[in-house]
Structure formats: C-alpha cells, structure tokens
Structure 1
Amino acid sequence: MTLEKAKHFKKRKSLHIYHFIIGFITISVLFLTTKWSWISSILLSQQIKPSSDDGDMLQLKHIFHHGTGPKNYKLHRRLDITPEYLFKHQDYFTQLTQNLESPEVNINSDNLDQIYQQSDWPEIHHGKNPFDIELPFKKNPGETIRLKERNTPQFIESYLDYARDVRGDAHILNRINLEWIHDEIKVPNVTDRDTVVTLATISSNAYVRYPKSDDEKKKSDWIDLGDWDPNRENSDINFGWDDIGLRGHVFVSRDNKTVVIGIKGTSGAGLPGGGSDETGGNDKTNDNLLFSCCCARISYMWTTVCDCYEKTYTCNQDCLERELRKEDKYYQAILEIYRNVTDLYPPESTDIWVTGHSLGGALASLLGRTFGLPAVAFEAPGEMLATRRLHLPAPPGIPKYMENIWHFGNTADPIYMGVCNGASSTCNLAGYAMETSCHTGLQCVYDVVTDKGWSVNLLNHRIHTVIDDIILTYNETAPCVQQPPCRDCFNWRFVAHDDDEKDEPKLPNPLRSSTLKTSSTTTSKSIFKSTSQSSLQSTSKTEASPTSSSVPSHEEPPKKCLERTWYGWCSKWGYDDDDDDEK
C-alpha cells in the first residue's frame, strides 16, 4: 500500500467516525427529548385536574322541606348531609341500598297510583347509596337575559302581584321600565349523555326517603328555617314526608361553584315506603291546579281544587291566577326554597341550576323562568299555561336558546305528550286532570315509538325507565328544538268580572284618589325599602288622565301623581308647573 493510499484510507476512517459520532449525538438528543416530553406529560397529568368547565362531580349536601297547605305553609327546615350524619345513620343507608335492589313487582299499567308507588331508583345506580353518591357532569359557557333586581328581597313577589292585578297588560307593565341585564353564565351540557343522566338521577334522588326516628323528636338533625320548633312538645320530626310539603334535594360540586336543586315530583313515584303516608294528596291538588284548564273540572262528578269554575267551559281567570299565587301552594314554596339555597350559595358567585321529574320538572321550569336559572325537566306536563297565568317575567324578544330551559321527554309517555286526558283516560280515573301539552323552552324528545316500537303507556313516565331504557340506550342525547305553535284549553272561555278596573290594580289604587297618598306611599316604602329606586322609577308620571282621578273638590283642584314606584304605586303627589298655570 502506497503512502497516498494509506493517508486516504485514514482520512475516510476518520470521516466515518465523525459521522458516527454526530449521528449518535443526534439520535441521543432526539431520544432524550422525546423521553422527557413523555415523562413530563405523565407528571403534568398527575398534577393538573380537569377544570370545572371540562367536568366535575356533584354530591348531595342538603335537603330542604317547605310546608304547604293552610296549616303548614310557614314551616321550613333544612337537613345537612354531613359525614357525621351519614355515619350516624349508616345502618339505615345499608338497608336502604339493599331495598333499592329489590326486583320490581308486576304492576297494572292502568293504575297510576300504583305506578307512583313503585321503586324509581335507576338500575344503573343499584348498590349505591343515594345520600353519598357522586355524579359526574359537564357544563358549557352560555348566556341569558334576566332581571337585574331578581335577587332583591320581595322584588319578584311584588312584581308578580302587580302583574296579576293588571292582568298582565303589556301596556301597563311596560311603564315599569324593568332593568334587564345580559349575563354570561355556565349551563349544563345537554349534549353530554352522562350529564343528562346525572340530572335525571338528581330528579330521582328527590324522591328518596331520609332516615327518621320517633325517639329523636328532641334531637332532630333538621335546622329550623321557619316557624317549626323541634323542641315544641308536639313537634313532629317527620314533617315534610308524612305531612304535606315540598322537598328540594341540593347537590353541590366539589369546588362549590355549581349547585343543582332537584325538586320532588308527585309522591308515590319514589322509593320503597311510598304510598299512603306520602304527600300524594297535596301533590295531586297542585297537579290539578297547574295542569288543568279550570280547577280540574272534568265533569259534575269531580271535586274541583278551587272555586273558579263558573259554568260549562267558562272559568274565572282572575280567580285562577290568585289560586296559583297563594302561600300554601307549591309555586310560592319553590320561591322560598330558592331563597334559602341562595343564603348558603350566593347567586353572584355560584352557578345554580334546577331539575326535576314530572311535577318537579314543571316546578323547576317555573323557577328557572322566574329567576333566569338553567332548568332541565324530565317528563314534565305542559307548564306554559301556568307560566302565563303566573305572569312570569320574560325579556322581550329573547330567543328560545337563551331561555336555558330544556324539557326531556319521550313519545311513549302520555303525560309528557299531553294525551292523558278525557273522561276515560287513566289519569282521569286516578283523579288527575292533566290537560296541558304546551311547554316553554326547548323540547328534547326521544321518539321511542318510532325508533323502538313502543306503545304509549304510563310506565314510560317513570324516571328510572327514562334513564335505564331510553337515555342510556341511545348513543346521543335527544336533539333539543323549539316546540311548534301550541295552545292549551282552546275550547274554554276565561272571563273576569272587575271590568270597572280592568286596566288598573284593585283598590287601594294609586291612579285614582289623592286621598290614598299616605297609605300608598307607606306601602311602597315598606315593601321596597331595599330596592334600587333609580332603576325602577316609572316613566308614566305624566300619563295620569282625568278619568283616573277622583271627583275634584270645590276647594282645590285634584293633585297629580308626580312620581311612582316601578309597580305603579304613587310615591309623590302634588302639582306640576302645568297645574300651577291652570290654577
């Protein structure tokens, strides 16, 4: 080998070694980079938890009971579901969980009361304690338009009273100048099947019986929120279950930023132990008041739930509206339950949702509409008629998607579809006048009649059937769409008899007599002491007409209302410049 070839060979060898080293270094760097990225992702996944927007868990924290009926409507209690409470009643919960796994007996599908008395806890949760179960959910960003003063004490109630007194006359109500605000809120992800199942489970949970014992009358776990005194000699700790009342089961997320109120539906649809000792009688009264055309007057054989029926297909509208707003009825009860929930969880910093099944779903929808809360109802009867009779506030022109009210139902449920009516219907035979079919918000309907060949049957109204046999058997949740134009009770005539004051509230009336200056002003200040007067002043002070004043005396001309509160009461009487010129 010549010297030149030796040098060339040595040079090539050095070049190969150099390329090998460079390649080795490059591969090593790539490997270490990839490896570290993989290791970092594992470490990061262990440290970072999903945000509340992506998912969280809900757990039962409180049960609220509000009394209803002529005697108990002022009673209100709260039960906190703490670890100490769960430990104290662990034997009861063990027995309860075992009972929930009992096989369902054969029942008559034509007997609505018997259906209401069966276990309704979903099969997917068999073996789980309803009092400490954790339920997953997801929420989405949303938006709504709602009243700015909705959480001011007595604001909503006073507005509804005034709206009822003027019969919902838009011309008069527009003078109030209600202040609406656009809010960015969090709403339940109704396209996520697990979230829908969770809300349906909370609706079912509202039927669950809580532990009770007669020997604990002096040491009840309940907290008094009203006129109930646990230390009174004849006090009954079973109030709210054995006695008439409405329940709300409150679930709270781990971060305390989301609260879901599950409102109990018609009793009997709950868990073992339901039946004659439940609140079914009062539930039926409110069912018949909310969902019938006129006090559940089907025929001469019926006992009506109010005295508003006048003659064949003729009903007193003013009477109906007063009945719905009575303190001993369910609508007023859910308003007070909501107020007590917001005492614990301020609505300014908490996402509050409402849900319920059947009657509970309709009440959830009414509550959601009243305060601008997201509401998800399951198999609820049509509540649009009750919404209008209550004159619930709604911003003008709000699109359906911003109402944030969703009604889940199925085409084989005669109550949801509004076909369980008529003299020969099962509902009628059981004493229920379910005559409405129109819903507010969006309808999310599973067409099981077409998809599964089901027949219309009352058994398909049960919440556990909805969860186990419908929602969980579909790959996706039902699409939510607007209901076509709908009208309830089209063949009824609704009348009023105070024609002399059809455009104004009943006396004492601030639009009529200057002699009412003192009383109306005093009432105004006492009711709305905490309300922002700047946002509620009416612009109608110059709209008073001569016909709305009392006959002027010979001594002085009649005074004019110079300022009014938002609901129409005159807060200042006197003469303006024009009156002085006329004098």
Structure 2
Amino acid sequence: MTFPIINNHHPNPFPTKDSQTFTLKHIYHHGTGAKNYKTHKRLDITPQYLTKHAHQFNEFVNVLSQPRPHHNGKVVPSQEFLNLDEIYQQLDWPKVHHGKNPYTIELPIRKSSKLGTVQRLTERHTPNFIDSYLSYAHEVKGNPQVLNRINLEWDDKVKIEIPDVNDKDTLVSLATISSNAYVKFPLDQDEKDKSDWIDVGDYIPDEGNVDLNFGWEDVGLRGHVFVSNDNKTIVIGVKGTSGGVPGGGSDETGNNDKINDNLLFSCCCARVGYMWTTVCDCYEKTYTCNQDCLEKELLKEDKYYQAALDLYRNVTSIYDPNEVNIWVTGHSLGGAIASLLGRTYGIPAVAFEAPGEMLATKRLHLPQPPGIPKHLENIWHVGNTADPIYMGVCNGASSTCNVAGYAMETACHTGYQCVYDVVGDKGWRVNLLNHRIHTVIDDIILEYNDTAPCFEQPPCRDCFNWRFVSHDDDEDDEPELPNPLRPKPKPKHSSSSSTSSSKSKSSSSSSISTTKSKAATVPTDKPEKCLERTWYGWCLKWGEDDGSDDGDANDDV
C-alpha cells in the first residue's frame, strides 16, 4: 500500500535563501502526575509509519476535506457530521490548512536576516547541571549575590539564528506547529494491541497496558518535533491545555493540564475562595502564601516544567544542540512552557496566547546573566487584545475561567510582546473564544497586512495584594551553605592527611554565606558530607558523616 501524496504547500510560499521547509519527524510524550512521571516515549513519523497507517490517515484527511454543512448560517448538527464536528473541535485545526494531513504537512519558516544575540550557561547541556543549579537556586531563594559567588560560567554573547517573527508566513507556520501539538492519531481498533511508541526514559510501564492510545489519552506533556529539510533547525511544539478552556482541543490530559495551569498562573495554588480545591498546600491564611512551598511545588518531578526539561534533553540526545538550531513554540499553557524552556537553555521561543509566565520564571529562579536586557532573551509572546487569558483579565467570580475552575491570575510576560489590537482595530469584544489557536491563525495573523509590532512590556507586577512569606526569615544567624561546585570543608578534628586538609581550607574559602536556613542552624555532633556527586564535582546530596571511610575519596574531588 502506498501513502498518497497530498498537496500540503503553504498558500504563500517564499522562495528565498532564508526559508526552510519543516515537517513533523517525532512526537514525544512525557508522563506527569504521581504515577506516570517516569514514563517517557517517542513516536517517529517515518515513511514506514505513514505507510502502515495509510488507511486511517486517508479517512482522516477525507473528513477534514469535507465542507461543514450549514443552514441559515448555522452548522447543521446532523448525525452524519457528528464525527466531523468532533474532529474539528479535537484538532482546533486552522481553516487555511483544511484538507491537509497534520502528519505530512510541510511548513515554510524563514530565519531572520539579522542574527540574534544570546548569553547562556556554558554547562547548560552537562548532565544534571541544570537540575543542580535549580535546586541550589531554590535553597538560596534565588539571591543573585549568592548565585554570583559560585562562579557560574556564562558563554560570551554569541550570535544565533532566530525565526523571523516579522514575517507573516513564519508566524502562521509556528502557530500551526503549536496547533499540531494538539493533534491526536485517529485510533485503529484493529491495531489496539500494538504500539509504535519507543521507550526513551528509565521507566518501562506494563507492556500489557500499552496500545495506540498511549500518548494521546495518557496524562502528560506532549511535544511535536518538526525538522527542517536541511536537518539544521529543529522546532519543538509544546502542547497546550486540553479541554475545559474553549480552543484547547480534546480533553485527554485536561485534568492534569488544569493542575499545572493553576499552579503556574495563580497567586497561591489556585486559592480563589474557600470552596476551591487548591493544587498545593502553600496557602496559609488570607492573602498569605508560603513562597518556599510554591517554589518547591514547581520543581517537582511530576509537574510540567520538569517534564519539559526531560523532553528537551531527549530531543538533544538525537540532535546535537551544538550542531543544530533548536527553537520552541506553543499555544496557551504550551507557549508558557516553551518560554520557560527557552529561558532555561537560552534558545529562541515563540509563544501564542500564553498566560503571563513572569511569575513562574521568578519562582523557578531560572538562570539569567547579571544585567541581561530583554532583547537578549529571544522570547516573543504573540497575542491579541480580545483574549482574556493573554491579557490577564480572565479572573473574577463571573469570568469563564473561574467558572471552568481555572485561576488565571497573571498578566506579566518575559521577553517581547507582539500584540494584535483587534479590539481597537476590529471592534472585537473580549471573549475566551479568541484564545483559540485557529482563530489566531485564520482571523488575526492572516487578516492583518503586517505582523504585530513587538515591544518590551512596561514594568509589571502580579499578585500585588498577596503577602509571600518564608518561615526562616526570622532566624538571627546567617548560616553557611556549601558551594555546590566544590567539596564541603572537612572538620578540624578530621584524621585526613595534610593534603586533604589543605584542600579543605581551599574549599572553606569558597563556601557561600547565604540566606537563613533552619536546618543549617541545628547543632550536630557529626558534620555533613557530600553523599552523591555529578562527575564534574557538583554535590547532589548532602548528609551526616557516619564515621565510615566510604565516600572519602569523593569529598576530595
């Protein structure tokens, strides 16, 4: 059986030297939640895969190609078109691409004629480095003076290729990749006991429970990876919120999406009222929240930020980040995650209709060179003034977000904002339906002659009426925390050799004095020692010295 060739050319292709054609090559699914966060699989969109499922794809495309029945301007809800309506709702697929197969579509993207400038961590791709940095930054509460003392190495400002966000066709293609991340494979019941997904994580689930539904109905974060025709540029599209919010596609991961939405974009665990179920235990009393608790929740392994880090690492395991350009994009929640990922690794990110993610950026203490201006972040937020989520006004007792159980309380974005003023230009009213990605593509980007101008957001502060506290703020002494890049000094009574002693003194001089910690002020007869290190010397785990000789060699690394 041969797979049919479908005309997937963009309506306005541009034959320039800076244009490239991108096609879907891989789909990653990273499990989240208490039970599934160790599950991570990859689906390769190969010619063999497309041929194997050609029958389902043909039916899929045929349905997408059919006109939607109307009568007096309204969609006819006839039984024969129920599946069609479900597919349109499921995909949120733009009209400009109707009739095109989401798995074989070719998307032209132009790189900017002007290179971007970036400054990022030198060791960002070293195994465990980012996790160790984030853990330590959480311990010292992101204090920049303390973080500067551990002598983090930053690459010099370098030039990198970035997408041309001033090009309409490029924005449409990036938005289409964001929309593609919602696409589910048309299930084939005859193939239910077979799966094309490949394990790429450490955890292997019960194979008896794995079928074609995996990746589409399992809880987790999904990333659709598009690769340029010259294999030199990768675009990762991160899936946004499913279900609940109009325009979110199907609801296969809706509950878990809502948990992460409410954690990332609320002031305190979605504590809106006493009748709300909070998503963490950080709320203390009226407009008072535990800051340390919030930061710890965001870093948990079963949450989306950690899943996004793993997704990026799996992509870079097959595409060397030193040899290829990696860009990220996404819609809504997916756009915010893409922005956080871009900031972490210093890669270009284009987000569509994303909620304000500046608050999450600060709570995660994402790496930032001292004094870096916003134009070096290479993050762009595309939105419109009639989208209450993007504008940060989808809150309050009568809002649709509130009714649906979403506490969308943030409005501040990082990087640049590229805003289409459809309220002023077209007279649109603020409505949650304007948050949909296909509305953004068909009725906004393609309807304007030019792309929206991009600018830095004026000074902005979220949750100004909340008080965020830390329970070690009242300690009198300022304890010393070990420098995670160097070994902890050994106690004076240690029986180590003079060589070890001299190393301890050297390490002691580089210990860091930081913010207060209760645990560090508790007296103990046994000094702490490094129990586990990365191969390059970063201490991952500190514990009490049990008096044994095990691990002494590690202490002298």
Tell me the TM-score normalized by structure 1: 0.77
- Distance verdict in 2 for CA 1:50–1:125, change over 3 Å: closer
Q: Note if 1:388 corresponds to 2:337.
A: no
Which of structures 1 and 2 has the bigger CA Rg?
1
- Quote the Cα distance in structure 1 between the aligned partners of 2:469 and 2:415: 28
Matched positions, count: 491
- Quote the Cα distance in structure 2 between the aligned partners of 1:250 and 1:559: 44
Q: CA deviation at 1:376?
A: 0.0
Q: Which residue number in structure 1 is paired with residue 161 of structure 2? A: 186
- Cα deviation 1:28-66 (Å, max 9, x = unaligned): xxxxxxxxxxxxxxxxxxxxx977x51110000000000
Q: Note if 1:455 corresponds to 2:455.
A: no
Q: From 38, 43, 53, give the equivalent of 1:89.
A: 53
Residue 396 of structure 2 aligns to a residue whose secondary structure is coil
Q: CA deviation at 1:539?
A: 9.8
Q: Residue 234 of structure 2 aligns to which amino acid in structure 1? A: V
Range 471-480 or range 267-276, more displaced: 267-276
Residue 209 of structure 2 aligns to a residue whose secondary structure is coil
- Quote the Cα distance in structure 1 between the aligned partners of 2:234 and 2:347: 11
- Distance verdict in 2 for CA 1:241–1:72, change over 3 Å: same
- Cα deviation 1:60-81 (Å, max 9, x = unaligned): 0000000000000000100000
Residue 406 of structure 1 aligns to a residue whose secondary structure is strand
- Distance verdict in 2 for CA 1:336–1:538, change over 3 Å: farther
Residue 284 of structure 2 aligns to a residue whose secondary structure is strand
Q: Note if 1:255 corresponds to 2:237.
A: no
Residue 260 of structure 1 aligns to a residue whose secondary structure is strand
Q: Residue 89 of structure 1 aligns to which amino acid in structure 2? A: H
- Are 1:68 and 1:74, in contact at CA under 8 Å, matched by a contact in 2? yes
Q: Residue 432 of structure 2 aligns to which amino acid in structure 1? A: L
Q: Note if 1:162 corresponds to 2:136.
A: yes
Q: CA deviation at 1:99?
A: 3.5
- Are 1:245 and 1:279, in contact at CA under 8 Å, matched by a contact in 2? yes
- Are 2:21 and 2:228, in contact at CA under 8 Å, matched by a contact in 1? yes
- Distance verdict in 2 for CA 1:78–1:416, change over 3 Å: same
Q: Residue 209 of structure 1 aligns to which amino acid in structure 2? A: K
Q: Note if 1:79 corresponds to 2:43.
A: yes
Q: From 193, 196, 208, give the equivalent of 1:221.
A: 196
- Are 1:121 and 1:204, in contact at CA under 8 Å, matched by a contact in 2? yes
Q: Which residue number in structure 2 is paired with residue 14 of structure 1? A: none
Q: Which residue number in structure 2 is paired with residue 337 of structure 1? A: 311
- Are 2:384 and 2:422, in contact at CA under 8 Å, matched by a contact in 1? yes
Residue 147 of structure 1 aligns to a residue whose secondary structure is coil
Q: CA deviation at 1:498?
A: 2.8
- Distance verdict in 2 for CA 1:400–1:559, change over 3 Å: closer
- Distance verdict in 2 for CA 1:311–1:269, change over 3 Å: closer
- Are 2:132 and 2:538, in contact at CA under 8 Å, matched by a contact in 1? no
Residue 188 of structure 1 aligns to a residue whose secondary structure is coil
Q: Note if 1:57 corresponds to 2:29.
A: no
Q: CA deviation at 1:364?
A: 0.2
- Cα deviation 1:68-127 (Å, max 9, x = unaligned): 0000000010000011111111222222223335639979xxxxxx99955511110011
- Quote the Cα distance in structure 2 between the aligned partners of 1:258 and 1:502: 51
- Are 1:207 and 1:270, in contact at CA under 8 Å, matched by a contact in 2? no
Within-5 A mapping of 1:282-301: 282-301=256-275
Q: Which residue number in structure 2 is paired with residue 130 of structure 1? A: 102
Q: Which residue number in structure 2 is paired with residue 197 of structure 1? A: 172
Range 81-90 or range 456-465, more displaced: 81-90
Q: Which residue number in structure 2 is paired with residue 41 of structure 1? A: none
- Quote the Cα distance in structure 1 between the aligned partners of 2:234 and 2:359: 28
Q: Note if 1:349 corresponds to 2:313.
A: no
- Quote the Cα distance in structure 2 between the aligned partners of 1:395 and 1:272: 37
- Are 1:57 and 1:134, in contact at CA under 8 Å, matched by a contact in 2? yes
- Are 1:146 and 1:371, in contact at CA under 8 Å, matched by a contact in 2? yes
- Distance verdict in 2 for CA 1:542–1:259, change over 3 Å: closer
- Quote the Cα distance in structure 2 between the aligned partners of 1:136 and 1:392: 32
- Quote the Cα distance in structure 1 between the aligned partners of 2:128 and 2:352: 30
Q: From 51, 59, 66, give the equivalent of 2:30.
A: 66
Q: Note if 1:367 corresponds to 2:337.
A: no
Q: Which residue number in structure 2 is paired with residue 268 of structure 1? A: 243
- Cα deviation 1:201-245 (Å, max 9, x = unaligned): 000000000244455455421111125547733334423322211
Tell me the TM-score normalized by structure 2: 0.80
Residue 66 of structure 1 aligns to a residue whose secondary structure is strand
- Quote the Cα distance in structure 2 between the aligned partners of 1:396 and 1:159: 16
Q: Residue 327 of structure 1 aligns to which amino acid in structure 2? A: E
Q: Which residue number in structure 2 is paired with residue 541 of structure 1? A: 510
Q: Note if 1:492 corresponds to 2:466.
A: yes
Range 264-273 or range 280-289, more displaced: 264-273
Q: CA deviation at 1:481?
A: 0.3
- Quote the Cα distance in structure 1 between the aligned partners of 2:253 and 2:51: 28
Q: Which residue number in structure 1 is paired with residue 68 of structure 2? A: 103
Residue 208 of structure 2 aligns to a residue whose secondary structure is coil
- Quote the Cα distance in structure 2 between the aligned partners of 1:559 and 1:427: 48
Q: Note if 1:313 corresponds to 2:287.
A: yes
Q: CA deviation at 1:432?
A: 0.3
- Quote the Cα distance in structure 1 between the aligned partners of 2:305 and 2:165: 26
CA RMSD of aligned residues (A): 3.7
Q: Residue 246 of structure 1 aligns to which amino acid in structure 2? A: L
Q: Note if 1:322 corresponds to 2:284.
A: no
Q: Which residue number in structure 2 is paired with residue 18 of structure 1? A: none
Residue 119 of structure 2 aligns to a residue whose secondary structure is strand
Q: CA deviation at 1:559?
A: 12
Q: Residue 87 of structure 1 aligns to which amino acid in structure 2? A: T
Residue 281 of structure 1 aligns to a residue whose secondary structure is helix
- Are 2:92 and 2:249, in contact at CA under 8 Å, matched by a contact in 1? no
Q: Which residue number in structure 2 is paired with residue 435 of structure 1? A: 409
Q: Which residue number in structure 2 is paired with residue 358 of structure 1? A: 332
Q: CA deviation at 1:505?
A: 8.2
Q: CA deviation at 1:275?
A: 4.1
* Structure 2: runs of 5 or more not aligned: 1-13, 76-85, 496-505, 531-535, 546-557
